[in-house]
C-alpha cells in the first residue's frame, strides 16, 4: 500500500507561540479545542474542523495553560498576569478571576466542573470551589520549583502534578498531603492522564514514559529521536504521538515503541500535542504560532478531510481574521 501523504489542517490566528491545548469531551455539538498562546488571547475552535469559535479577551500577559470542562460550557486559562480565569465558553464572558502571586502555568477542571485546580510558579497547587469562588482555595505545598502541570485524577479524589524540580507528585485531596512522588533525570515537560484514567503519559528529555496511574510504576519507556516537549496516548492505547524540538510530529506503536511515521509540518518546535476525544485526529501547537490538526488514519474522510481517489484534500478553514457568524 502506498504511503498516503498526511495533509494537516493549519489553524492560524495566533501571533505568538502556541504552548498548550485541551479538548473537551464529545458533546451534542461535537467537541471543542482551546489553545493557550503567548499572545495572551486563548482561542476556542470546533475540534474536528479547526473552525474558530471565539477568543477569550481579558488577560494582560502570555497564557500558559488552558482547559475545557467535559461539556465545553466552561473554559479556564492561566497566565503570566498572575491570574487564573474561568470563562463561559458559550458567551465568552469572564466568570471568575483568581489572583495569584506568580505566573499561573496550569489549570484543570474536576469532572463535575465544580472545582478548578491551578499550578503556578509559586510552587503551589490551589483548588478553588467554583460554587464558592470567594472562599479561600485549598493549597497543596511541597514542590520546590514552579509547577508545570496539574490534573485531577482518580475520580477527582487526587491531583497529579509535575514541576521544574524534576518530580511528579500525587496529592490526596481529602488529607491535603502528598502521597506519591517520582523523580526524573530531567524536568518533565508534559503530563497527560488517559481518558479512562489508567495511564499517565509523561515526557522528559528525549523519553516518552507511560506510568500506571495507581502504582506509578513504569509500564513503558520509549526514547524518541528528539528532545520531546509533549506526547499523547490514543484513547484505545494502540498508538501515541509526540513532538518536540526537531519540528516533526511522530507516531509510534504503543505496544512496541516502533515508529510508524513522522511528518514535518510546523516551522518551529512543537510545544503541545493531544488526541481528540474520539481519537480520529490529533492537534499540535508550535513555536510558529499555529495549531495543526492531523489525521490519525491518513486518507479517511473526516471533518474537513475529504478522501478523493486515495488522496486527502482538506477544505479551507475559516480563519479568525475573517468574519465568522456565531451560531
> ∠ at Cα 34 (31, 37), nearest 5°?
165
Q: What is the DSSP code (8-state) at residue 18? A: E
C-alpha grid cell, residue 285: 501547537
Per-residue pLDDT of the chain (327 residues; tens, 9 = 90+): 346 788 899 999 999 999 999 999 999 999 999 999 999 999 999 999 999 999 999 999 999 999 999 999 999 999 999 999 999 999 999 999 999 999 999 999 999 999 999 999 999 999 999 999 999 999 999 999 999 999 999 999 999 999 999 999 999 999 999 999 999 999 999 999 999 999 999 999 999 999 999 999 999 999 999 999 999 999 999 999 999 999 999 999 999 999 999 999 899 999 999 999 999 999 999 999 999 999 999 889 998 988 765 555 555 454 444 333 333
Task: Give the DSSP H or E segment for 223.
Answer: strand 218-223
Contact partners, residue 256, CB within 8 Å, separation at least 6: none
Give pTM, 2 decimals.
Answer: 0.93
- Residue 13 near residue 52 (C-beta atoms within 8 A): yes
Q: State how far the alpha carbon of 307 is from the alpha carbons of 2, 119, 300, in Å.
A: 15, 42, 6
Domains along the chain? Answer: 186-296 (2.130.10.10)
C-beta of residue 262 within 8 angstroms of C-beta of residue 278: no
CA distance 277 to 129: 26
Partners of 286 in the β-ladder: 270
Amino acid at each position: 500500500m502506498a504511503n498516503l501523504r498526511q495533509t494537516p489542517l493549519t489553524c492560524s490566528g495566533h501571533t505568538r507561540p502556541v504552548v498548550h491545548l485541551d479538548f473537551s469531551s464529545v458533546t451534542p455539538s461535537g467537541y471543542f479545542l482551546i489553545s493557550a498562546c503567548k499572545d495572551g488571547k486563548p482561542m476556542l475552535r470546533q475540534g474536528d474542523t479547526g473552525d474558530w469559535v471565539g477568543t477569550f479577551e481579558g488577560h494582560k500577559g502570555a497564557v500558559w495553560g488552558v482547559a475545557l470542562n467535559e461539556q465545553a460550557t466552561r473554559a479556564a486559562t492561566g497566565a503570566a498576569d498572575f491570574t487564573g480565569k474561568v470563562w463561559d465558553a458559550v458567551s465568552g464572558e469572564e466568570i471568575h478571576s483568581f489572583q495569584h502571586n506568580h505566573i499561573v502555568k496550569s489549570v484543570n477542571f474536576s469532572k463535575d466542573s465544580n472545582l478548578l485546580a491551578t499550578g503556578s510558579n509559586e510552587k503551589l497547587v490551589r483548588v478553588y470551589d467554583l460554587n464558592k469562588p470567594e472562599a479561600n482555595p485549598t493549597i497543596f505545598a511541597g514542590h520546590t520549583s514552579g509547577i508545570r502541570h496539574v490534573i485531577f485524577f482518580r475520580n477527582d479524589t487526587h491531583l497529579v502534578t509535575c514541576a521544574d524540580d524534576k518530580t511528579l507528585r500525587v496529592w490526596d485531596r481529602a488529607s491535603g498531603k502528598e502521597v506519591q512522588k517520582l523523580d526524573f533525570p530531567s524536568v518533565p515537560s508534559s503530563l497527560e492522564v488517559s481518558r479512562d484514567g489508567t495511564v499517565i503519559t509523561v515526557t522528559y528529555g528525549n523519553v516518552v514514559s507511560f506510568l500506571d496511574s495507581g502504582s506509578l510504576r513504569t509500564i513503558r519507556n520509549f526514547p524518541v529521536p528528539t528532545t520531546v516537549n509533549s506526547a499523547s496516548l490514543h484513547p484505545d492505547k494502540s498508538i501515541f504521538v509526540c513532538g518536540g524540538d526537531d519540528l516533526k510530529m511522530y507516531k509510534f506503536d504503543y505496544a512496541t515503541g516502533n515508529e510508524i511515521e513522522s511528518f514535518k509540518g510546523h516551522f518551529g518546535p512543537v510545544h503541545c500535542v493531544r488526541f481528540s476525544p474520539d481519537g480520529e485526529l490529533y492537534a499540535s501547537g508550535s513555536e510558529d504560532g499555529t495549531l495543526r490538526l492531523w489525521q490519525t488514519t491518513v486518507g479517511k474522510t473526516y471533518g474537513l478531510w475529504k478522501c478523493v481517489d486515495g488522496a486527502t484534500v482538506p477544505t479551507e478553514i475559516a480563519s479568525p481574521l475573517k468574519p465568522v457568524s456565531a451560531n
